[in-house]
Structure 1
Amino acid sequence: MKILKLLLLLVVLGIAAATTVIYSGIVNVAADEPHSDLVYWLLEETRETSIKKAAEDIEVPDLVDPELLLSGGVDYNFMCASCHLKPGQKESDMSVGLYPAPPNLTISAESHEGHEHGDDAQKARKNFWVIKHGIKASGMPAWGKTHDDKRIWAMVAFINRLPTLTPEQYQIITAIE
């Protein structure tokens, strides 16, 4: 009986604490103020684990088809470059203003500090899942609501090649004829 009363007390205290935090306004949600290290770590770990788990069974098609690269490049230029940048670009108004900051996809994945990276297929699955489903409260839209899987895989194929492109190559590949 004592354990039940203790559990009930803990639940009531937890609800009271959560209610206080929610309705007091003490949590700063401004995008120009970073989270504490602990909150940032919790959010990053939760996001990475969730994406890895959700994407683990996705089958990766052959992503070396030049047609995928071309069609994915056009979509990337219009839908992604303002946040995830173009070759030779260090920042944009969008990349600076978003928090958490979107990854710069023009540099190799190994250059992104603090992120675990697996094999190419794992990265492709994760990129596909993120592009298709988006990420809540991050500014990353769910393109799967308006784009079919083939079009999303084309963007994944382009993102795979993006770190190797010069600004001139990028301009040629993303130009619309």
Structure 2
Amino acid sequence: MKKLKLVLFLSVLGVGVTAAVIYSGIVNVAADEPHSDLVYWLLEATRENSITKAAENIKVPDLTDPELLLSGGVDYEFMCASCHLKPGQRKSDMSLGLYPTPPNLAVSNDSHEGHEHGDDRQADRNNFWVIKHGIKASGMPAWGKTHDDQRIWAMVAFIKRLPSLTPEQYQILTAIE
């Protein structure tokens, strides 16, 4: 009986503290002020694990088709580059103003280098899922509402090649005919 009372007390206390935090306005939601290290870690870990879990059964098509690279390049230029940047670009008004800061997709991600083929395919699945479904409260829209899967896979194919492109190659691949 004492354990039940303790659990009930802790539950009521937890609800009370949560309500106090929500209604007091003490949590700073400004995009120009970073989260505490603990909150940042919790959000980052939750996001990464959620995406990996949601994307684990997505079938990755052949992303080496040059047509995918070309069509994905045009979409990247118009839909992604202002936040995720271009080769040779270090920042933009959008990349500086968003929090969390969007990843610079034009530079190599060392955390994925040297991984086995399966991990590379998981990165492709994760990228597809993020582009299709977006990420809540991050500025990343859900492009799946307006773009079919083929078009999203084209963006994934382009993003995969993006870190190896020079600014000149990027300009050629993203030019509209």
- Same structural fold, with TM-score higher than 0.5 when normalized by the shorter chain: yes
Displacement of 1:111: 6.3
- For 2:87 and 2:111, the matched residues in 1 are separated by 14
In the alignment, does 2:17 pair up with 1:22?
Answer: no
Displacement of 1:81: 0.1
SS of the residue 1:11 aligns to: helix
CA shift digits 1:63-99 (9 cap, x unpaired): 0000000000000000000000010000000000000
In the alignment, does 2:98 pair up with 1:103?
Answer: no
- For 2:43 and 2:110, the matched residues in 1 are separated by 21
5+ residue gaps, structure 2, are: 113-117
1:69 is matched by which residue type in structure 2?
L
SS of the residue 1:119 aligns to: helix
Identity %: 81
2:87 is matched by which residue type in structure 1?
P
Displacement of 1:4: 1.3
CA shift digits 1:15-46 (9 cap, x unpaired): 11000000001000000000000000000000
Q: Quote the residue 2:13 is aligned against.
A: 13
Q: Quote the residue 1:115 is aligned against.
A: none
Displacement of 1:3: 1.4
2:167 is matched by which residue type in structure 1?
P
In the alignment, does 2:92 pair up with 1:92?
Answer: yes
CA shift digits 1:97-144 (9 cap, x unpaired): 0000000000112169xxxxx722111000000000000010000000
**Relative to 1, partners in 2 of residues 1:132 and 1:70: Cα closer, same or farther, differing over 3 Å?**
same
TM-score (norm 1): 0.95
Structure 1 segment 24-173 matched on structure 2, within 5 A: 24-110=24-110, 119-173=119-173
- For 2:37 and 2:7, the matched residues in 1 are separated by 30
- For 1:68 and 1:33, the matched residues in 2 are separated by 38
- For 1:48 and 1:120, the matched residues in 2 are separated by 15
5+ residue gaps, structure 1, are: 113-117
2:61 is matched by which residue type in structure 1?
P
Runs (4 or more) in structure 1 with deviation over 6 Å come to: none
Q: Quote the residue 2:115 is aligned against.
A: none
- For 1:40 and 1:110, the matched residues in 2 are separated by 21
- For 1:172 and 1:11, the matched residues in 2 are separated by 60
**Count of residues in Structure 1 that have an aligned counterpart in Structure 2:** 172
- For 2:15 and 2:44, the matched residues in 1 are separated by 25
- For 1:137 and 1:30, the matched residues in 2 are separated by 12
- For 2:151 and 2:62, the matched residues in 1 are separated by 13
